[in-house]
Structure 1
């Protein structure tokens, strides 16, 4: 078995836990919504409500594509879980591709990993959108 396939099979498995169960580990370290921070004594500035989510992007894109439609909370949660899983798979595949060369993951490794993980028309669409985003980022710098 090649290194790429063994790395992909080990790391890219969909998460078995629901998003709520995954966040319980984070919440157990909180005290009444605050972190146990050693920087300050009163803990009022150390609130952590930063939960990673793509939910705001779903509504923005949906408004651009179909104005009258909306998403239920269950649909948003399912799409968010799917996006997190795909993001992790792409990152792990890019890590395996860059493992032998250097410590930096470039857009080339990301592009190759997307091409390997996704197939068909979705791969072509993803490549064109990603190339457009990278060009837009490079010109804005």
Structure 2
């Protein structure tokens, strides 16, 4: 799943090379056709993250989001766990927010960037019992 999140924001040549190596089916729901993968990558670009339930391993849910620099993936984050405890709908926002925050900090740290206010994350509980993030803006 992390590979798909990164591939969705990679140059077309990287996608072609990935497909050249072939796709293997891990479970009955795995993507095994090149056109199906290209379609999935388009969906990931539209939503900002990749999600799956049981694609790589039965009874495992995963959410992945790319860390971007200049609209290209330079890294990614992923959360996975047993389907009964990890619900992709609950984690999509948190994964996208975390990846976007890392992307923003990379931009802010790059040469020639202007200083921006930066959020300090005081809480990002995974339980869902509290708000997803408590953010305070502080100037650098």
Do these two structures clear the TM 0.5 threshold for a shared fold by scoring above it?
no
More strand by share: 2
Query: Highest CA radius of gyration, 1 or 2?
Result: 1
More helix by share: 1
1 or 2 for the larger relative contact order (CA 8 Å, sep ≥6)?
1
